[in-house]
Structure 1
Amino acid sequence: MDKRIHPKIVAQQPWTAHDYCMTTVAPTRTTENPYLNGNYAPVREETTALDLQITGTVPEYLDGRYLRTGPNPITDPDPSRYHWFLGDGMAHGLRLCDGDARWYRNRWVRSADVARKLGEHWRGGPSDGGFDFAANTNIIGQGGRTLAIVEAGARPYELTDELETVGPSDFCGTLFGGYSAHPKRDPVTGELHAVSYSPMRGNIVQYTVTGVDGKVRRTIDIRLKAQTMMHDFSLTERYVVLYDLPVALDLRDRAHTAVGKAAAGVLTRLAERHAAPDFVLRRAMRQSEQGGGGPSGGMPYRWAPERQARVGVMPREGSASDIRWFEVQPCYVFHPLNAYDVTSPEGDSIVLDVVRHSSVFASGTSLVPGTQSLDRWTVDLAAGKVHEERLDDTAQEFPRVDERRVGRAHRYGYAVSYTAGSTGISAPDAILKHDLYAKTTQSVAFGPGREPGEFVFVPSGDDVPEDDGVVMGFVYDRSTDRSDLVLLDGQTMETVATVHLPVRVPHGFHGNWVPTERS
């Protein structure tokens, strides 16, 4: 029997409300895993929809693409072992220009495994950029390229402007052994700063600086006490800030017998403190193209309260030997909002605004267990300690700041709020706007059954005030089983436009606005 998958690519010409109502969406299978149900469930079709319907007015200054990615398993995973972080990546994009919504597209990232399952020829490409995996966590523009990125030693994938896969990338031969899902772009230089980790690099994380030409120009290896899942970091004008928090590598969940778990325990202790030699890593990266795609045995990490939580501060032009470590209370940070330097007569400090989880991976598979808050950590460089302060105790995630303020003092931030759900995971219910000067938070909901994802801020011009622009993101409507791109006024948080899609966009991770480059 031919078990290859042939996804239906739905190409739509300019369509009417009648066409919209008649668009069909492939049914999803109900399982006991909440990340395979509702709007977390994968879609089964690749769609191209042209000249989309709009309610309201799309601002004329928006000329570019809103891109977002997320996990979308191409075949049905084992519900008992599937984790949301591990699904094959699917990119979604929407082109805005001259007040119109020209197109919407969604495409799987064609890793070797995804291409095989689609019955397609894999184009191949450089293998030293990391393990082969359909990148599922973030999508960015850099140096005229569109890149789908992920963490944990996997390689970036380059896509065309219309989201077709070009192939794996090693940043023109300058990237080795994987990248981060969360690079930070310096708003002055345009360079990407990143901190990357990999289970095969043991206790070494790598800080890189990538130029606007798409090539890594600086690399620093940083040795920790042990391997950890360093999902994100913070950048200021003067410093790189590392989050060494109590999440430990644990390979025992991948073993199915007592003997296997004992062996996995030994392997874990070895792997979390010792990096594989480069020649072993190169061979493993090449072999990953022949394997079965991403890991299928759940997340290889556990909550490790026995470890001291700490943040490391390294001068941007310094080295690993210059890092100073500061203890914080046990917690985990998937995503900081922003960070900046403060100079005062009493001494220098660093302000870190973060979404703080009390714990992760302690039970179940939930990313958002309802115990997270927006906190401010002030690193007192003179006193050698961190002051921790609660800014907002609403359960929230996916914080975003005006990208012009990355590493600089900011007033506003945006995040997704969550409420406890009946399926074992929290449900997104509103977008939050934090005013950190006024110490207020505004919540914007979209009506019953409408669930927002991460929203990003796009300024109306280069030199306008911090919240002069729009905040945009996908909103899923359970009643229609479709999604919209919703644009909110950054100052009032009122809806200025809604772009209607003929399909749904599953809840995913991160996206960005990529403006059209002018020659």
Structure 2
Amino acid sequence: MSSSCAAGFEHVPEQRTPVDLQIHGVIPPWLSGVLYRTGPGTTRIPTTADPSKVVEIQHWFDGLALHHRFEIFPGGERVSYRSHNGSDDLERQIAEAGRYPTLSFGQRRDPCQAIFRNFSSAFQAMRAMGVSSPSPSGINVSVTLTPDMPGLDAETLGLSTPSGARYIVAKSDANTLQIIDPETLEPLIATTYEQLDPRLDGPLSAAHSCTDQETGDFYNYSCKFGARWPTYKIFRIGGKDGKVDVLAEIKDAPPSYIHSFAMTKRFVVLCVWQAHMKRFGMSLLHYTNIAESIEQRWDPKLYTLFYVIDRKDGGLVGKYRTPPFFCFHIINAFDDPATDDIIIDMPVYKDNLVINLLYYDKLKNLNDENYMPMGSARRFRLPSPSLLTTRTATRDAIVEFTLAQSQIELPVVAPSVYSKPYRYVYGITRIHPDEHRTVTDGIIKLDMSSPSPWSTRKFWSKPNHTPSEPVFIPRPNGKDEDDGVLLSIVLDDQATRSSMVIIDAKEMKEVARAEMEVVFPIGFHGVWDGRKV
């Protein structure tokens, strides 16, 4: 029996011409702007030589990019939608080759293929712009989006809009970036962090960068493999001048799949959890996909490591350890004003087996034996780095609490409390954890100021509906942290159509929805640009 949400994992065509959506309820009159989202769209590609033969994309993270744009017009009486494929040229390459021709997250390969050459060419060709660079749609970048990422010159790119973002940058867990047009979503340029600064080499980076809400400074890391230990370079791109600074190099951490990291007002924290790559990262040269290169054997004695880097002056200022766990996303982090400690919250898993459960054949056929686990919110406390007698010593991190009964993923907090003390986090959940035929059946609101798993949570749900990541939009001049709305693209499993649902974040009640005529593919992340007028 197929999953109740299986339609959300099927191939979806693009919609380049904007279409108006049918509005139900009342959209708050103050809510106007653009919700951008990205994720997989193309999952089946007929081959050029024989169209009856199809290349099936196997892992959810490898579905070819489909970028989306929902525009809410002033007054809330009109919502338009459009989408644009992000990987047309890569799709043509796959059709001609009859296989996925480059580094992927989980596409399984014939070991007899010349995979070392394919892996090398995927990144060697990205080293310089011009003829040798891949075309803008010759790559697959479909995890996160950043409007007007610093370090890129909008005038040089020829981008200028009267309001709103000048360009959108799509990012993934590879050191690749795709610049797309904020209006049409057309891919414009394919580039890398290394092209912004040659020091930012290495094939891996974090899909989830961190951005200072006040200065616009942008933070991420690059990871380069070596003969033994890799080199993680934590870097900053200035929000005002676009200058690149390498804040620290970490050379004693194992190579790991790190999807996100944490940031407070004073520190960047790189958490190296147990998703370690075999052969010190060289396994990527053999498997050419991240999932199969990760060590499958879980070691309960192998610590998770926290590396703390000074945001202002750079340099490693502390190192911590804790019993092992796996994680995709950071909820939030902040400096404790009372103790000077660092607080980090994240949804954790007991091991990394979830990576191998994200193949399409599993997602489309969820059941009691094949079901999708979800993280539990856990709070870590890192004792103040100022109390360290030496920066090379490794101290124990403290686990303050774990909300084991409150499953959460794709977490989001209000922009006003990002990297600051906060209360509320929102994310997808399974309200009925024993019903395994869907990936998620609701949106949860947790109050992280209390470790109680029961009295501090609220839900939004609707029978036979599958929500996506919520995006928080604050009400202008709102006084409370939760004064605003959540936007989530929700699949009606029975009607096989989707809607952009608007939920009051304080009460967790639906206030309006903009209904589509088609299925929106279940994807990953989005970003709100409220400057559009």
Q: Sort the TM-score into its range (normalised by shorter chain).
A: 0.7 to 0.9
Of the candidates 124, 137, 142, which is equivalent to residue 143 of structure 2?
Answer: 137
Q: In structure 2, what is the Cα distance between the partners aligned to 1:139 and 1:311?
A: 26
Partners of 1:66 and 1:335 lie apart in 2 by 21
State the alpha-carbon separation in 2 of the partners of residues 385 and 463 from structure 1. Answer: 39
Distance 1:69 1:296 in 2: 21
Tell me what 2:466 maps to.
451
Q: What displacement does 1:78 show?
A: 6.1
Q: Which residue number in structure 1 is paired with residue 265 of structure 2? A: 237
Which of 43, 55, 71 pairs up with 1:95? 71
Deviation at 1:117, TM superposition (A): 6.2
Cα distance change, pair 385–191 in 1 and its aligned pair in 2 (3 A): same
Q: Distance in 2 between matches of 1:514 and 1:490?
A: 18
Matched with 2:86 is: 109
Q: What is the distance in 1 between the residues matched to 2:281 and 2:520?
A: 41
Work out the number of aligned pairs and report it. Answer: 440
- The structure 1 residue matched to 2:242, chosen from 212, 215, 229, is 215
**Alpha-carbon offset, residue 481 of structure 1:** 0.8
Q: Matches of residues 173-192 of structure 1 in structure 2 within 5 Å?
A: 173-175=195-197, 176-177=200-201, 179-192=205-218
How far apart are the structure 2 equivalents of 1:78 and 1:420? 34
2:61 maps to 1:68: no
Corresponding residue to 1:314 among 309, 316, 326: 309
User: In structure 1, what is the equivalent of residue 349 of structure 2?
Assistant: 357
Residues 468 and 84 of structure 1, relative CA distance in 2, 3 Å threshold? same
The answer as to whether partners of 1:208 and 1:216 remain within 8 angstroms in 2 is no
Q: Are the aligned partners of 1:397 and 1:416 in contact in 2 as well (CA < 8 Å)?
A: yes
1:36-435 matches, within 5 Å, as 37-46=6-15, 48-76=17-45, 82-98=58-74, 99-110=76-87, 112-114=89-91, 116=93, 127-128=127-128, 133-142=139-148, 144-170=166-192, 173-175=195-197, 176-177=200-201, 179-197=205-223, 203-212=230-239, 215-220=242-247, 221-250=249-278, 268-269=279-280, 271=282, 299-306=292-299, 307-320=302-315, 322-344=316-338, 347-361=339-353, 364-366=356-358, 369-370=372-373, 372-381=375-384, 382=387, 384-388=395-399, 389-418=401-430, 419=433, 422=436, 427-435=439-447
Distance 1:434-1:39 versus aligned 2 partners, 3 A rule? same
Secondary structure at 1:114 match in 2: helix
- Aligned AA (1:416): I
Shift of 1:445: 3.8
State the SS of the aligned residue for 2:440: strand
Rounded to whole Å, the distance in 1 between the matches of 2:311 and 2:215 is 13
Q: Give 1:134 deviation, angstroms.
A: 1.4
1:427-485, Cα deviation, whole Å (9 max, x unpaired): 21110011223554434343221000100111112563211111111000011111100
Which letter maps to 2:343?
V
Name the CA shift for 1:247/1:297 in 2 (closer, same or farther; >3 Å).
closer
Q: Distance between the aligned counterparts of 1:297 and 1:376, measured in 2? A: 28
User: Could you tell me whether the CA contact under 8 Å between 2:66 and 2:142 is conserved in 1?
Assistant: yes
The 1:159/1:230 distance shift into structure 2, 3 A limit, reads same
Please state how far the C-alpha of 1:185 moved relative to its aligned partner: 1.7
User: What value does the CA root-mean-square deviation take over the aligned residues?
Assistant: 3.4
CA distance in 1, matches of 2:374, 2:27: 36
Aligned-pair distance for 1:393?
2.6
SS in 2 for 1:336: coil
Deviations for 1:141-189, whole angstroms, at most 9, x for unmatched residues? Answer: 1253211111132333333323111121447952544653101121111
| AA matched with 1:342 | D
Contact preservation (8 Å) 1:180, 1:197: no
Contact 2:230 2:280 in 1 (8 A): no
Say if 1:35 and 1:41, in contact at 8 Å, map to a contact too.
Answer: no
Describe the superposition over 1:352-404 as per-residue Cα deviations: whole angstroms up to 9, x where unpaired.
11101111137842498425201111111248432211135322210101122
Q: 1:84 is aligned with what amino acid? A: W
Give the Cα separation in 1 of the matches to 2:352 and 2:195.
35
Structure 2 equivalent of residue 464 of structure 1: 479
CA distance in 2, matches of 1:171, 1:247: 23
What secondary structure sits across from 2:61 in the alignment?
Answer: helix
Q: For 2:231, give the aligned amino acid.
A: I
C-alpha distance 215-297 of structure 1, shift in aligned 2 (>3 A): closer
CA distance in 2, matches of 1:469, 1:149: 27
How far residue 304 of structure 1 moved from its aligned partner, in angstroms, is 5.0
**Structure 1 residues 137 and 506: alpha-carbon distance in aligned structure 2, compared to 1, 3 A threshold:** same
Point out where structure 2 has 5 or more consecutive residues left out of the alignment.
46-53, 97-124, 150-165, 360-370, 389-394
CA distance in 2, matches of 1:162, 1:355: 35
